[in-house]
C-alpha cells in the first residue's frame, strides 16, 4: 500500500442519520443493497449493481440505522453491555454494506457519476455520524456502562470495545455544549467534502498529464518494456505511431531510471511533483490549507492543542514528541548517507563529462548507473524472473508454509472489472476462511498507489462466524503485447506488502466488527504488511517463485547474491525522502492556530528546518499528499517507519528459529493477525515476542549501524 490502506468498518456503521423519504417499493425490490447478497459467500453482486442503486441504498441504510439507534436510545431497560454497546456495534448493517462497496469502488473504479454521488453522500454521512455521537441519550447509556466496567464480567475484547465506544463519543464531541457541537458538525461536514475534493483533483491531475514523443531518439536508454508500454499507451490515447509516458508509476519510474534525455526526465519529474499546484481548477493549495485549519479548530474544540495530539492519542505513539523523537533519531544518519550518495553521483556525472550539477530528475538514473557499476545489477535484469502470477503465488506459498492456509482461484464469483482475480482462502482442513480479490493494473478510473480494503469484515453474529471479503489493489506493471506482466523488485515488495495487510483481514478471529481485522492503531497496522516483505527476498523464497517467464529457469544464485549485496544501496535516498514526508505531515498537524497558510511557503520552511538537500524532493509534496489530506494517514505517515521497528524485530523471531517455524508463525497469527484491535497493541506484541522491540534491527537493516 499503501503504500496506502482504505478501511470502512463497522465504526463506518457510525457514519449515519439523515431524514429522507424511503425509497419506492420498485427501487427496493430491484436494488441489491436492500437485502443480504445471495451470491457465493455473499460477496457483492457486482454484475447487478449500477450507479443508480447507491443513493437510494445510502438513504435507506441511514433510515434503518436511525430506527435502530432510536430503539437503543429509548430502551427502558437499564443500560447494559449487550443492549447498548453490542447493539450499537451491530447496527447499520445495510449502511455498512453499501458503504463498503461504494467507497472501495470510488478508489478502484470511479467515474464522474460516482464522484458526484460521493459529493452528495459525504455530508449525509457526516451528519449521520454526528447525530449518533452527539445524541445525549446514547452517550448517557454508554457512560453508565463504562462507569460500571470494573464490576462487569467482561472479556478482554469486550473491555476494549467498551473503552473504544466511550472514547469515540467523547472524541466525537459528546461533552461539548450546544454551540460547540453545532460548530463541530459544520467542521466535520466541510472536512468530508474538502477531502473528497482533494482526492478528485489528484486523480484528475494524474490522468491529465501525458508526454507524447514522436522521435526514436527521445527513447534513448529506455528498456524495451518501457518503450512497448509507451507505444501501447499512445495507441489507447489516439497517438498511433508515437510514444506516451504518464505519471502512473510503471511508466514514470523506468523513464526516470533509464532515459538518457535529461530535459525529458526533468519534464516527467516536474509533472509528477507539481500535481495540484497549477493555479487552475484542480489546484489543491487552498483546499489543503482549509483542511489543516479546520483540523486545528476541531482539535481545539475537543480539548487538544493540535490535530496531531488528537490523532496520536489513539495510536501507539501517543504524543507528537514521541514521533519527532523517532524521526530525528533516523534523520541524521539517513541524511549523512544521502549526502554521500549524492557525492558519488556527482563524481560519476563529472567523470562522464556531464558538466552539470546533480538535480532530482537525475537521481534515479545515476542511482541505477552506480548500482550497475558497483553490483552489476539493474531492475531490468530482474524483471524476467518476477512474472506477476509467480510473485502472487510465491506470496500465497509463504502463507501456506507459515499458517497452513490455501488459495483456490474462483471463476464463478462476480467481480467489478476484467483485471480482477478472485481466490477462496481455506484452512488446511478445507474450512472456508474468506475471499480475496486482487486488482493489480493501473487505469484512469483508479487512484494511484496500492492498498488493501474489505468488502466485508470478519465478525461473529448470533453464534455464526461471518467470514471476510478482502481486496488488494495496486498499480503494477501490466502485460505488454505477448509478454505477461513482469514486475520490478520494488513492485514485487509492494505485492507482498499488500498481501500482508490482506492476511491481517483474512485471518481475523474477533467477535465485534469494530475491533476485527485491520481495525488497529494506525502505527500498528503496518506491522503485518511490512513483515511480509522480509520473506520476498529471502533466498529460499526467491528460488521458489522467481522463475524466468520464458524458460521457467530458477533465478540464479548469482542474482540472489547481487540483490543481497545491493540491499543497502540508495537507502539514504529512500529513507530521507520518506522521512521528509513524515516531518511534513507532522508539521502540518502540529499547528496550533486555525488559520490558512501559504502551503508552498510552509512546505519550504518545513524542509529547510530539517535540512533536506536540494537533490532530493520530499516523497509527497503537500498539494498531492493524498495520504494525509484525502486518506486516513493525517499525523500518521510516520507509521510506516514506526511499524518497521516492530517488523524488523518481529522477523528476527523467525530468523532465530527458522524461516517457516510453525510455532513462531502460530504465535504471530494468534497474537497479531487474528487479534485485530482487541487489546493494547504493545501488549499483543509482547505476548508474541516476549519483550518490547528494539530499534537496533531497523538500523542494521537500513545500513545505519
- Contacts of 596-605 with CB under 8 Å at 24 or more apart are 596/286, 596/289, 596/290, 596/292, 596/293, 597/289, 597/292, 597/293, 598/285, 598/289, 599/285, 599/288, 599/289, 599/623, 600/277, 600/285
Give residue 355's pLDDT: 94
The pLDDT of residue 555: 98
| pLDDT band, very low/low/confident/very high, at 23 (cuts 50, 70, 90) | very low
Q: Is the pLDDT of residue 451 over 80?
A: yes
SS3 category, 52: helix
Q: Which H helix or E strand runs over 196?
A: helix 178-208
- Of the segments 17-21, 29-33, 452-456, 691-695, which one has the largest average pLDDT value? 452-456
Stretch 104-110: mean pLDDT? 97
The pLDDT assigned to 700 comes to 87
Q: Is the pLDDT of residue 299 over 50?
A: yes
CB atoms under 10 Å from CB of 36, counted, come to: 11
State residue 704's pLDDT score: 83
Higher pLDDT, 440 or 26: 440
**Residue 703: pLDDT band by 50, 70, 90 thresholds?**
confident
Report CA torsion sign: 505, 510, 516, 521: negative
Please report how many Cα atoms fall inside a 13 Å half-sphere around the Cα of residue 350, on the Cβ side.
7
pLDDT at residue 459, rounded to an integer:
98
pLDDT reading at 625 higher than 90: yes
Q: What is the CA radius of gyration of the chain?
A: 25
Q: What pLDDT score does 379 carry?
A: 86
Q: Does 337 have pLDDT greater than 80?
A: yes
For the packed helices 285-301 and 599-610, what is the interaxial angle rounded to 10 degrees? 80
Measured between alpha carbons, how far is 426 from 36 in angstroms, rounded to an integer? 23
Q: Any residues with CB less than 8 A from the CB of 115 and at least 6 apart, and which?
A: 106, 196, 200
Instruction: Please give the pLDDT value at position 696.
Output: 87
pLDDT of 344:
98
State the Cα angle at 385 between 442 and 225, rounded to 5°. Answer: 50
pLDDT tier, 28 (very low <50, low <70, confident <90, very high otherwise)? low
Q: CA–CA separation, 525 vs 232, rounded Å?
A: 38
- The residues, ordered by sequence, that sit 6+ positions from 416 with a Cβ below 8 Å of its Cβ are 44, 46, 105, 108, 109
Architecture of the structural domain at 314-386+546-633: Orthogonal Bundle (1.10)
Domain residue extents for the chain:
11-203+285-302, 209-273, 314-386+546-633
Helix 489-506 with 527-536: angle, nearest 10 deg:
130
Asked whether residue 225 carries a pLDDT value surpassing 60, the answer given is: yes
DSSP 631: S
Catalytic residue numbers read: 498
User: Does 314-386+546-633 match 11-203+285-302 at the fold level?
Assistant: yes
* pLDDT tens sequence across 581-598: 999 999 999 999 999 999
What is the b/e burial string over 98-133, where b = at least 16 CB atoms within 10 angstroms of the residue's CB?
bbbbbbbbbbbbbeeebbebbeebbbbbbbbbbbbb
CA distances for 476 relative to 218, 372, 491, 495, angstroms: 24, 23, 6, 9
DSSP3 helix / strand / coil % (the chain, rounded to 5): 60, 5, 35
CA–CA dist 164, 396 (Å, integer): 34
Taking CA atoms, 570 is separated from 262, 370, 704, in Å, by 21, 10, 12
Distance set, CA 33 to CA 44, 50, 54, 170, 420 (Å)? 9, 11, 8, 32, 22
Q: Which of 25-29, 349-353, 416-420 has the lowest mean pLDDT?
A: 25-29
- Other beta carbons within 10 angstroms of residue 505's beta carbon come to 29
- Strand 421-426 and strand 406-409: the pairing is antiparallel
pLDDT the model gives residue 381: 94
How would DSSP label each residue in 656-696? HS-TT-HHHHHHHIIIIITTTTSS-HHHHHHHHHSS---TH
For 11-203+285-302, CATH number? 1.10.1370.40
Of all residues in the chain, the percent with pLDDT exceeding 70 is 96
Residue 693 binned pLDDT confidence (cut-offs 50, 70, 90)? very high
Q: Name the pLDDT band for 701 (thresholds 50, 70, 90).
A: confident
What's the mean pLDDT in 73-102?
98
Of the pLDDT bands very low, low, confident and very high (cuts 50, 70, 90), residue 705 is confident
Mean pLDDT, the chain, as a whole number? 94
Residue-wise pLDDT for 176-218, tens only, equals 999 999 999 999 999 999 999 999 999 999 999 999 999 999 9
- Residue 166, pLDDT above cutoff 90: yes
pLDDT score, position 13 = 31
CB 682 within 8 A of CB 646: no
- Give pLDDT, residue 16: 30
Confidence of residue 29 (pLDDT cuts 50, 70, 90): low
Average pLDDT over residues 347-354: 97
* Cα–Cα distance, 84 to 365 (Å, whole number): 60
The stretch 554-577 carries a mean pLDDT of: 96
Please compute the mean of the pLDDT values over residues 57-65 and round it to a whole number.
98
Q: Can you tell me whether residue 637 is helix, strand or coil?
A: coil
Distance CA 687, CA 667 (A): 8
Strand-strand pairing, 459-461 and 451-456: unpaired
Dist. CA 67–CA 676, nearest whole Å: 29
- pTM for this structure? 0.94
- Residues 6+ positions from 551 with CB-CB distance below 8 Å: none
Amino acid at each position: 500500500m499503501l503504500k496506502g490502506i482504505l478501511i470502512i468498518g463497522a465504526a463506518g456503521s457510525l457514519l449515519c442519520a439523515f431524514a429522507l423519504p424511503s425509497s419506492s417499493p420498485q427501487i427496493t425490490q430491484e436494488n441489491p443493497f436492500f437485502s443480504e447478497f445471495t451470491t457465493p459467500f455473499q460477496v457483492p453482486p457486482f454484475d447487478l449493481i449500477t450507479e443508480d442503486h447507491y443513493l437510494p441504498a445510502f438513504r435507506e441504510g441511514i433510515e434503518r440505522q436511525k430506527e435502530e439507534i432510536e430503539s437503543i436510545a429509548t430502551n427502558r431497560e437499564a443500560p447494559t453491555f449487550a443492549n447498548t454497546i453490542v447493539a450499537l456495534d451491530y447496527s447499520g448493517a445495510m449502511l455498512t454494506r453499501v458503504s463498503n462497496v461504494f467507497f472501495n469502488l470510488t478508489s478502484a473504479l470511479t467515474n464522474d457519476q460516482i464522484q458526484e454521488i460521493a459529493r452528495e453522500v459525504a455530508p449525509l454521512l457526516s451528519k449521520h455520524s454526528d447525530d449518533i455521537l452527539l445524541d445525549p441519550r446514547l452517550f448517557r447509556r454508554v457512560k453508565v456502562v463504562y462507569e460500571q466496567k470494573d464490576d462487569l464480567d467482561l472479556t478482554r475484547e469486550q473491555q476494549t470495545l467498551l473503552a473504544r465506544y466511550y472514547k469515540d463519543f467523547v472524541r466525537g464531541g459528546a461533552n461539548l455544549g450546544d454551540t460547540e457541537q453545532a460548530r463541530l458538525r459544520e467542521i466535520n461536514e466541510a472536512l468530508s467534502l474538502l477531502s473528497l475534493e482533494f482526492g478528485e483533483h489528484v486523480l484528475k491531475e494524474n490522468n491529465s498529464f501525458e508526454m507524447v514523443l514522436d522521435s526514436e531518439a527521445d527513447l534513448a536508454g529506455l528498456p524495451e518494456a518501457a518503450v512497448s508500454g509507451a507505444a501501447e499507451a499512445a495507441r489507447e490515447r489516439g497517438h498511433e505511431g508515437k510514444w506516451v509516458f504518464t505519471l502512473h508509476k510503471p511508466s514514470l519510474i523506468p523513464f526516470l531510471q533509464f532515459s538518457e534525455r535529461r530535459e525529458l526526465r526533468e519534464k516527467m519529474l516536474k509533472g509528477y511533483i507539481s500535481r495540484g499546484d497549477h493555479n487552475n481548477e484542480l489546484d489543491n493549495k487552498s483546499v489543503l490549507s482549509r483542511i489543516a485549519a479546520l483540523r486545528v479548530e476541531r482539535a481545539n474544540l475537543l480539548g487538544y492543542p493540535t490535530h496531531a495530539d488528537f490523532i496520536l492519542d489513539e495510536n501507539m505513539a501517543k504524543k507528537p514528541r514521541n514521533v519527532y523523537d523517532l524521526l530525528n533519531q533516523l534523520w541524521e544518519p539517513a541524511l549523512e548517507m544521502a549526502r554521500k550518495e549524492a557525492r558519488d553521483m556527482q563524481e560519476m556525472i563529472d567523470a562522464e563529462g556531464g558538466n552539470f550539477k546533480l538535480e532530482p530528475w537525475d537521481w534515479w538514473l545515476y542511482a541505477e548507473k552506480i548500482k550497475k557499476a558497483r553490483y552489476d545489477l539493474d531492475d531490468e535484469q530482474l524483471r524476467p524472473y518476477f512474472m506477476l502470477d509467480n510473485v502472487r503465488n510465491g506470496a500465497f506459498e509463504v502463507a501456506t508454509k507459515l499458517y497452513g492456509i490455501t488459495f483456490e482461484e474462483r471463476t464463478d464469483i462476480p467481480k467489478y472489472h476484467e483485471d480482477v482475480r478472485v481466490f477462496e482462502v481455506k484452512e488446511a482442513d478445507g474450512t472456508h476462511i474468506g475471499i480475496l480479490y486482487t486488482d493489480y493494473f493501473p487505469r484512469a478510473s483508479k487512484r494511484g498507489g496500492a492498498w488493501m480494503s474489505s468488502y466485508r469484515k470478519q465478525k461473529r453474529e448470533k453464534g455464526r462466524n461471518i467470514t471476510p471479503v478482502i481486496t488488494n489493489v495496486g498499480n503494477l506493471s501490466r502485460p505488454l503485447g505477448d509478454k505477461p506482466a513482469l514486475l520490478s523488485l520494488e513492485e514485487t515488495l509492494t505485492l507482498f506488502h499488500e498481501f500482508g495487510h490482506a492476511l491481517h483481514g483474512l485471518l481475523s478471529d474477533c467477535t465485534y466488527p469494530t475491533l476485527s481485522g485491520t481495525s488497529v492503531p494506525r502505527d500498528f497496522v503496518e506491522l503485518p504488511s511490512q513483515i511480509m516483505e522480509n520473506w520476498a527476498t529471502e533466498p529460499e523464497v526467491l528460488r521458489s517463485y522467481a522463475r524466468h517467464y520464458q524458460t521457467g529457469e530458477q533465478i540464479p544464485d548469482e542474482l540472489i547474491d547481487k540483490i543481497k549485496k545491493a540491499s543497502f544501496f540508495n537507502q539514504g535516498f529512500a529513507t530521507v525522502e520518506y522521512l521528509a514526508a513524515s516531518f511534513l505531515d507532522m508539521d502540518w498537524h502540529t499547528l496550533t492556530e486555525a488559520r490558512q497558510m501559504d502551503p508552498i511557503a510552509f512546505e519550504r520552511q518545513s524542509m529547510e528546518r530539517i535540512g533536506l538537500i536540494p537533490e532530493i524532493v520530499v516523497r509527497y509534496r503537500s498539494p498531492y499528499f493524498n495520504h494525509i489530506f484525502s486518506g486516513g494517514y493525517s499525523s500518521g505517515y510516520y507509521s510506516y517507519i514506526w511499524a518497521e521497528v516492530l517488523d524488523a524485530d518481529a522477523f528476527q523471531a523467525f530468523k532465530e528459529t527458522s524461516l517457516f517455524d510453525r510455532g513462531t508463525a502460530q504465535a504471530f497469527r494468534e497474537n497479531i493477525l487474528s487479534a485485530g484491535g482487541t487489546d493494547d497493541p504493545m501488549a499483543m506484541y509482547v505476548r508474541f515476542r516476549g519483550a518490547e522491540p528494539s530499534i537496533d534491527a531497523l538500523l542494521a537493516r537500513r545500513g545505519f549501524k
